[in-house]
Chain A
Amino acid sequence: MTIEMQTTDLLTIAGKTYHSRLLVGTGKYKDMDETARAIAASGAEIVTIAVRRTNIGQTPGEPNILDVLPPERYTILPNTAGCYDAETAIRTCRLARELLDGHNLVKLEVLGDEKTLFPDVIATLKAAEVLVNDGFNIMVYTNDDPIIARELEAIGCIVIMPLAAPIGSGLGIRNPLNIRTIVENAKVPVLVDAGVGTASDAAIAMELGCDGVLMNTAIAAAKHPVLMASAMRKAIEAGREAYLAGRMPAKRFASASSPVDGLFF
């Protein structure tokens, strides 16, 4: 990306600006070293983490994810992955805020089904309402339904994050028309969260006008995660530039690129 664009095309979330429009998860890596290297290669400035029970007495001295990804350097985005009801999602957010010394940015996801990991949008709406009233800045995982996206925004969620396909599926953007509609309606940033499989999927999300993409498995489950992280970084930048550039209209038939005038035969 040109220097000029890097300084002017920024993503703003909860009053903080970011150069990178790629947000990454921190799960499924081989080890902490690979996690750190892949995230560095992705250029991500916002990283999502989960909160789980501390292993009492079983793993003394094990490096913590926050040692590898220090909150002074990265914006840490705790998520409520694994929550299947509003109450546990709310408890998880409160624990995360305490864990991060009052940092109140969270990724809310309330799941409805283990097979699809599709969101339970009814419980998500309920949890979002409670959390907004409790002072949280909510980035919300939802399905690709423009009406639900509108409701979540009306409640006060600061970022709407429709899925592109089921979490961890790598199926790519299954419903580009709905993603585009959500983007067109929204006054807050829209990020595709979940379902991206490879670099072209990320580029498509950005070309649709999304403000960014959040992914984990597409990088962590690649044969070479660090290389894929680099590919994703470029795809996000390329897709963003293409969106800003405004693509040519697609036409059914050919249009010669060389002039017809001056042919000598």
Chain B
Amino acid sequence: MNIVLNGIPTEVAEQCFLADLIAHLALTGQRLAVEVNAELVPRSTFAHYQLAPDDRVEIIHAVGGG
């Protein structure tokens, strides 16, 4: 199925949990935060948060800024 990951259309497995996606991106354990369809998804729920087709996923991290 297709999702939109950080603004880019991306294909993922039909059954894909957020934790799977993060592991696939080699981001497990990184300091990040995730939104799906503009709603925050707490880190503690990644393992059982199942993605749906056309979900808009945002993965963010801290950067330098003023």
| B62 & A66 in contact (Cβ 8 Å cutoff) | yes
| B64 & A65 in contact (Cβ 8 Å cutoff) | yes
Report if A53-B6 is in contact (Cβ < 8 Å); known contacts: A96-B33, A98-B43, A99-B33. Answer: yes
B58 at the interface (CB under 8 A from A): yes
Tell me which of B33, B35, B62 contacts A49 (CB under 8 A). Answer: B62
| A50 & B65 in contact (Cβ 8 Å cutoff) | yes
Q: Which residue of A lies closest to B5 (CB)?
A: A56
How far in angstroms is the closest Cβ of chain A from B40? 5
| A35 & B64 in contact (Cβ 8 Å cutoff) | yes
| A51 & B61 in contact (Cβ 8 Å cutoff) | yes
Size bin of chain A's contact surface: 35 or more
A124 at the interface (CB under 8 A from B): no
A91 at the interface (CB under 8 A from B): yes
B38 at the interface (CB under 8 A from A): yes
Contact with A along B37-66 (1 / 0, CB 8 A): 010101100000000000000111111111
Pick the interface stretch among A22-30, A177-185, A201-209, A254-262: A22-30
- CB within 8 Å of A: which residues of B? 5-8, 25-27, 30-35, 38, 40, 42-43, 58-66
- CB within 8 Å of B: which residues of A? 25-29, 35, 48-54, 56-57, 60, 64-66, 76, 78-79, 81, 91, 94-96, 98-99, 167-168, 215-217, 220
- Give me 27 A-to-B residue pairs in the complex whose CB atoms sit less than 8 angstroms apart, sorted by A's number: A25-B64, A29-B64, A48-B65, A49-B64, A49-B65, A50-B66, A51-B61, A52-B60, A53-B60, A54-B30, A54-B60, A64-B30, A64-B31, A64-B61, A65-B62, A81-B65, A91-B38, A91-B40, A95-B60, A96-B33, A98-B34, A98-B42, A98-B43, A99-B31, A99-B33, A167-B66, A220-B66
